[in-house]
Amino acid sequence: MRLLALTLLAAGPLAAAPVTPSVDPETGLATWQTESAGAQIRLTQIGPDQARAFYQARGFAAAAAERYAAECVFMTVVRNVGDTPIRHRLADWRYVTADQAPRTIRSKAEWERLWRRLEVPEAARIAFNWAQFPATQTFAPGDWNQGMTTYSVPRGGEFDLRVTWRAGGATHSTTLEKVRCANDAS
């Protein structure tokens, strides 16, 4: 079975796939989307108030929900638009700000350790895990999934999200450039 594994490679050029930004006229929230070599990746801003409300409604104390809302939060969608199964590993994604080296996305395991330290109830932690983008998944052609991802970038700050993957024995790369975190007014 051929797999498309989203992995960051230290060497090799990134493909210049077009990134399509858009803004929802009702919410003012922005979306960035790109499609390359059978993979479509889309990030949509989640505002701090949305993040707070979502987790407080699932049993998080205000302080714990605020800890999550302080991050740069996105609804992340990956779709297999090709004809080869794809497999992603979120641990291989990297984001880069203008003044920092590439960083990994905080894993569910890292969040779990924090939630336990903050004594977030188990039912709330389970809801949290289900709402996050899967750490790894195989997508058949036409399959897709969504979930939240977070980036340690200030509200209103920008970053580039770099992903690479393998499909049909070849390695492909793309970058969502100048992705902007929601600000307090979003």
pLDDT per position as a tens digit, 35-70? 988 999 999 999 999 999 999 999 999 999 999 999
Range 137-161 average pLDDT: 93
Sign of the CA dihedral running 87, 90, 92, 98: positive
Range 77-86 average pLDDT: 92
Show the CA angle centred on residue 39, arms to residues 99 and 35, nearest 5°.
70
Contacts of 57 (CB under 8 A, 6+ apart): none
- Confidence (pLDDT) at 116: 97
Range 149-175 average pLDDT: 86
- Confidence (pLDDT) at 6: 34
Range 138-166 average pLDDT: 91
Of 2-11, 55-64, 101-110, give the lowest mean pLDDT range.
2-11
